[in-house]
Amino acid sequence: MVLLACLLSGAFCAVAQAQVNYAERERKASPQIKAKLDSLRKEIKTKNWHFQVNYTEAADHNLKDLTGLKVPSNLPARIQAQQKLTAGLQEKPLSGVSASLTAFDWRTHNGVTDVKDQNPCGACWDFAAVSAFEASWRLINRDVIDASEQDVLDNNEAGDDCSGGWPADALAYLKKNGCATEKDYLYKAAKKPPKNNVARPYKVQAWGYVGGPLEDTSNRNLVNTLKQKLLLWGPLAVCVYADEAFQHYGSDTFDEFASGDINHCVTLIGWDDNKQAWLIKNSWGKVWGDQGYMWIAYGCNHIGADAVWVSAQPESQSVTDADFTVTIYKDSNFSGKSVKFIVGQGRCYKLVPQLGSSAYKFNDQISSVKVGKKVGVLLYQHDNYAGKFLDCVMDISDLAKDKGWNDVTSSLIVFLRDSGSPVGVVLSSSHNQQFFPVDELGNAMVYTKVAYNDDAESVNFDVTKPSDPSWGTRIVTVYKDANLKGISQTFQADARGSQFKLDKNLSHNVSSLKIELNGTPLKR
C-alpha cells in the first residue's frame, strides 16, 4: 500500500538504498573510538535514552570542525526586520497535504536532494541553507540541482567561513547574487579567494524566519507552526545543539535533551507523531545516522530553533508544448526509437492503454524517458494500467540503472502535475492493483472487464485536489460479472477521496465497473 499512497498523493516514490555496515566499521575502529562508543552506550543505558550510537565518519573529526554555527548578537532585530520584508507574502502549500497528518516525509514527495558532506569545515550554516534552497528549487522548478556551497562560502558578504556562520547570511547571498553549480565551483572545505567568472543560474526569490529567536522548541504551538511552514515552503534550515552523542548517532529516535546552546544547522524534512520526532537531513555524509538522516524528538537539543524557510525563483514563466510532453525512448540516454505523448489543450491527461498497439509498437521497449515540466507520467507493467507502476516526475536517462524498470512498460498515463494525479479509482488487494481513470476530459468511463477479476478487496478513490470543491463527487459501481452485470455495489467519495472495503459477495469477485464524475476536472 506504500506504492499506492505514492500514486494517490502524486508523490515521487524513492528507491531504498543499502544500509551502512556500522558493525564492520566498529570492528576495525581504533581503541579510542571503541572506548568512546562504550562510554556513550553506558550513558544511554543509564539515562534510558532510546537511540543507538555507532562509529560514524563524523567521529573521525573534532566536533567543532563539523558545527560552526554563529548566532548574531542582533538576532532579534534581524528577525523583526526580515519578517517586515516578507509580511503579506502569499503562502501556497507545496505538498497538497495537511499539517494534521500523523507523519510526513519530503523524501517521498519529491522535495529533498542528496545528502552532502561538509567535511572538517564549520560550514553547516551554508549546507543547511543550500539544502533547503535546492529542495525548494526542485519543488518549484521540477529540476534536481547541485548548487555550490563553495560559492556561498567564498563570497557571502557577512564574512562567514569554516569557523562559523549563520544560515540567513547564505540565503541573503543567494537572493542577491544567485549561485553557481557544484560542477563550476567545486567544494574545497576551506574558504578560498572569490571566483567571479562563473555563471550563477540558481537564485532565491524570498526567504524568512519561522518564529522569534530561541523559542521553546518543545512548545506544541511551535511544533505545529514548523509543520505548517514545512508544508508551505518545503524543507527548512533549522538550528540544533550537537554534542558527542549527536556526533555518533546511528539509528532510532535521538532523545538526549541536552541543555547546551545551539551550535549546528541541519535541514528539517518531516515528522512522525507516533515517534514524537522530527526527521532531519544532516551534512556529515551518508556514514552518519540513517544514511545521513536522523529522527530527533520534538524539542530535543533545541531542534527547530531559529528556523528559516526559502522559496526558489521560478526558472521561467513561459510555457511551451514541450512542458506538457512526455517522450519515451527505446534506448538509454534518450536515444533510439522514440514516441511523444502530449497532454492536449483543455485535457486533464493523456491515456495510453496499450503500447503494443499498431500505433506505437513499443510494448516492453522503454529504457529512458523525458518528462515535461508541467506533467508527470505513470508507467504500468501491464496493459490497461494494471500491475506494478512507476511514478516519474522528471527525466530518467537509464530506467535499468536508476529504477530497474527498463523493458517492462505496457501502458502509461501522462498527467498534469497541477492536478496531483489522474482522476479515477483503484481496485486493490494485497497482491495486485489496477487503476481505472475517467477519460481524458474527465467524463464517465465504463470498464466491461477488469484484469484481476478474482482479486480485488477494496476500492480506493484517488486524492486529487483536496482544497478544490469543483471536483464535486465521484461515484463508482462495481459488478460481479463482465459487461456491468450481476451483483453490484456503489461507492461515493467527495473531493478528499475515500477508501472502501468490498462486500463479502464482491470481494475477489469484481469483473466490471462504471465511474461517474460530477464536477469539473482541472484542465490545462
CB 314 within 8 A of CB 141: yes
Q: Which three cell numbers stand for residue 268?
A: 528539517
In 3-state terms, what secondary structure has residue 62? Answer: coil
CB neighbourhood size of 180 (10 A):
21
Nearest of 374, 372, 413 to residue 391 by alpha carbon: 413
Q: Tell me the residue type at 405.
A: W
CB 342 within 8 A of CB 290: no
Catalytic residue among 109, 248, 264, 302: 264
61 as an active site residue: the answer is no
What CA–CA distance (Å, rounded) separates 401 from 46? 46
CB 455 within 8 A of CB 462: no
Q: Tell me the residue type at 462.
A: D
CB 294 within 8 A of CB 343: no
What CA–CA distance (Å, rounded) separates 228 from 222? 10
In 3-state terms, what secondary structure has residue 446? Answer: strand
What CA–CA distance (Å, rounded) separates 325 from 370? 8
CB 411 within 8 A of CB 389: no
What CA–CA distance (Å, rounded) separates 258 from 459? 48
What CA–CA distance (Å, rounded) separates 129 from 318? 28
Which residue shows C-alpha cell 505513470? 378
Catalogue the E-assigned strands of 4-66.
51-53
Catalytic residue among 124, 162, 239, 348: 124
What are the C-alpha distances in Å from 350 to residues 117, 255, 321, 384, 437?
42, 49, 14, 13, 10
Buried b (16+ CB within 10 A) or exposed e, 371-387: bbbbbbbbbbbbbbbbb
What CA–CA distance (Å, rounded) separates 416 from 475? 22
Determine whether 194 is exposed, middle or buried from the number of CB atoms within 10 Å of its CB (0-12, 13-18, 19+): exposed
- Helix-strand-coil percent breakdown of the chain, rounded to 5? 25, 30, 45
Sheet holding 386-392, edge to edge: 349-352, 411-416, 375-382, 386-392, 433-437, 424-428, 458-461, 499-501
264 as an active site residue: the answer is yes
Q: How far apart are the first and last CA of the chain?
A: 30
Q: Tell me the residue type at 401.
A: K
Catalytic residue annotation: 124, 264
